[in-house]
Amino acid sequence: MSAFTMDGDFGVKTPVDRNKSSSPVIQVVTEPAKEIKMEKVATLPAGEIGTPFAVKLANFGRAVLPPVLGMLILLGIWYIATMKGGSIPGPVKTWDAATVLFADPFYRNGPNDQGIGWNILSSLQRVGIGFGFAALVGIPLGFILGRSAFLSAMVNPIISLLRPVSPLAWLPIGLLVFQKADPAATYTIFICSIWPMIMNTAQGVQRVPQDYLNVARVLALSEWKVVTKILFPAVLPYMLTGIRLSIGTAWLVIVAAEMLTGGVGIGFWVWDEWNNLKVEHIIIAIFVIGIVGLVLEQALIMLARKLTKESA
Amino acid sequence: MEKFVQVERVGQTFDTKKGKFVALRDIDLTIKQGEFIALIGHSGCGKSTLLNLIAGLTKPTTGVLLLEDREIAGPGPERAVVFQNHSLLPWLTCFENVYLAVERVFGEKEGKAKLKERTAAAINLVGLDHASAKYPNEISGGMKQRVGIARALSMQPKVLLMDEPFGALDALTRAKLQDELMKICEATKATTVMVTHDVDEAVLLSDRIVMMTNGPAATIGEILEVKLPRPRHRLTLAHDADYIGYRAAVLEFLYEKQAHVEKLAA
């Protein structure tokens, strides 16, 4: 809009003002951008030289080589550090233990001795339930807070006060209220998952472009249509970010919570193996927890990409 | 109808951090049914503010605005707006964007088939049948703006309000869309108010050009009646003495009578 205007706005911002910036600012910004563009254009063809197959192979190598190398170095350091023996087992011993462990992941010898598969699944179940409840409460609450400045101002200090509290500090309250370990752990997950969901959803609602809301006003859309056709799709990317942050935290917290509550679960299992002094199992657990967390995160990123692609 | 839209003694003051800012004062304007009005003036003269007032998106600080003798109390589909940056919803296809408007206006009385027919007709009117199923980010800027126009026209508004609709487009696309808009307005007899800063656009399209003084506290400086016969063709008009005269009159207003504040602002 700026090329032929004689912009000289007075800096008045009204709700319907569509961010008119004055043209001198735009010119200053565009010049360095042009330079970057030219560089990109200059470097692009260089990568495209050669047959398509060779290029694909080279790209594949570039993508796979560094992470594989990193893993090998990690294993190497681990191997060298544990070569002389000591209390920490080396990679070979851990691998042997893992093959035994994963040969039968779903055995049950009483409530305190179950396969690693069961432990992972019960942890995931707690995370799922706590996280699900947090989404049910947190996302609508985020919408309400985003829409109402009054409620937002009312609730924000409370959120600011409670959010930095470690979720584990809530565990005794949960034990007291529920009188049982299992719901208390789930409740801890609920507490830690809910903040990112409320805050990201509320932020998303506040950032819905005024243009879209003006469209809604001119069309005089019903509140239901505003929510389903404009707010929800506009907020979805923010909501998914909230969900991703939540599930990351939830997975961090569940291990610690289960160490304290006991029962079945990957956190409890780590603690149990520590009591049995099976250190190789603890190392296996560290890898397992990491891999599960990674899978959860990647699954949500993929979901977000799919949903926002459809809506963008 | 002689007094279709009436703007009476309208003033608009905004509360800013630096205190009160008077954007508009003493605006008096009467628009006939079927008339094409262009609002022209330097940036910051409040022409978009006036358009938003007619749209009902903002309320005047003083004075009153009437449509068919009834006060304009808020935004509504009988005063459709074509926004400067098209404002299509990116998660809906072109068809769905228009359908949203059609459904709102005619959904209570008509069945789905009829609503779809209306949507298709509006898209056809702007020549976008082929892009109907595409998403806004898959089409060009000019096409997006056409969908915006289709959306506005599909509601069969009493007044069509356009806020620099072609400002962001290249000159060739702009000329094409201006020609299309002229045809559409002649066919639908739509009462139209268009904000522009393009002198040629104003003279080519308008029945009257409302020229605004520089802000702050902008008001209507002069109103120029463009008595060129319709249909108008840009190529024939380029050498037309009347056309050149109207053009000169607007330029004179903008660059001689209202030039001084522009220098200060620049």
Kindly provide the ipTM of the predicted complex, given to two decimals: 0.82
Full DSSP string of A248-305 = HHHHHHHHHHHHHH-SSSHHHHHHHHHHTT-HHHHHHHHHHHHHHHHHHHHHHHHHHH
Which of B91, B139, B260, B264 has the highest number of chain A CBs within 10 A, making it the mutation to test binding with A? B91
Domains, chain B, with CATH or none? 5-78+158-265 (3.40.50.300), 89-156 (no CATH)
Compare CB distances from B77 to A10, A13, A220 and report the shortest one's residue: A220
Residue A44 has what pLDDT?
Answer: 45
Instruction: Give this prediction's pTM.
Output: 0.71
Find the mean pLDDT for residues B82-110.
90
Please determine, for residue B124, whether its predicted confidence score (pLDDT) is greater than 70.
Answer: yes
Residue A25 has what pLDDT?
Answer: 38
- Measure B14 CA to nearest chain A CA, in Å: 7
Largest CA distance in chain A: 81
Compare CB distances from B216 to A10, A20, A234 and report the shortest one's residue: A10
B62-67 and B36-40 beta bridge pairing = unpaired
Domain boundaries, given as residue ranges, for chain A: 97-311
> Within the 158-187 window of chain A, which residues sit less than 8 Å (CB to CB) from chain B?
none
DSSP-derived secondary structure letter, B137 = G
Residue A49 has what pLDDT?
Answer: 53
Q: Is A10 on the interface with B (CB under 8 A)?
A: yes
- Measure B117 CA to nearest chain A CA, in Å: 19
B62-67 and B5-16 beta bridge pairing = antiparallel
Residue A50 has what pLDDT?
Answer: 58
Which of A25, A27, A219 has the highest number of chain B CBs within 10 A, making it the mutation to test binding with B? A219
- Measure A7 CA to nearest chain B CA, in Å: 5
Find the mean pLDDT for residues B225-252.
90
Residue A200 has what pLDDT?
Answer: 93
For A220, name the nearest residue in chain B, comparing CA atoms only: B76
Which of B86, B100, B155, B264 has the highest number of chain A CBs within 10 A, making it the mutation to test binding with A? B100
- CB count, 10 Å around CB of B226? 21
* CA atoms within 13 Å, Cβ hemisphere of B18: 6
Find the mean pLDDT for residues B96-121.
92
- CB count, 10 Å around CB of B158? 17
Question: Rounded to whole angstroms, how far apart are CA atoms B112 and B95?
Answer: 14
Compare CB distances from A12 to B21, B75, B164 and report the shortest one's residue: B21
In this prediction, residue B215 has a pLDDT band, given cuts at 50, 70 and 90, of confident
Percent of chain B residues topping a pLDDT of 90: 44
- Count of A-B CB contacts under 8 Å: 103
Residue A21 has what pLDDT?
Answer: 40
Q: Given an 8 Å threshold on Cβ–Cβ distance, is A219 in contact with B155?
A: yes
Query: For residue A163, what are the contacts with CB-CB under 8 A and spacing of at least 6?
Result: A195, A199
Question: Rounded to whole angstroms, how far apart are CA atoms A238 and A233?
Answer: 10
Residue A30 has what pLDDT?
Answer: 36
Residue A57 has what pLDDT?
Answer: 85
* CA atoms within 13 Å, Cβ hemisphere of B5: 28
Cβ atoms B191, B228 nearer than 8 A: no
Q: Is B77 on the interface with A (CB under 8 A)?
A: yes
Q: Is A15 on the interface with B (CB under 8 A)?
A: yes
Residue A86 has what pLDDT?
Answer: 77
CATH architecture of the domain A97-311 equals: Orthogonal Bundle (1.10)
Please determine, for residue B84, whether its predicted confidence score (pLDDT) is greater than 70.
Answer: yes
Please determine, for residue B46, whether its predicted confidence score (pLDDT) is greater than 80.
Answer: yes
The kind and range of the H/E element at B15 are strand B5-16
Cβ atoms B119, B96 nearer than 8 A: no
Cβ atoms A285, A270 nearer than 8 A: yes
Tokens at residue B81, please? 């707006």
Cβ atoms B217, B24 nearer than 8 A: yes
Averages of pLDDT over each 10 residues, chain A, 312 residues: 41 42 38 40 47 83 89 91 82 86 79 81 92 92 89 92 88 88 89 92 90 89 88 90 89 89 85 88 90 91 79 48
Residue B197 has what pLDDT?
Answer: 86
- CB count, 10 Å around CB of B77? 21
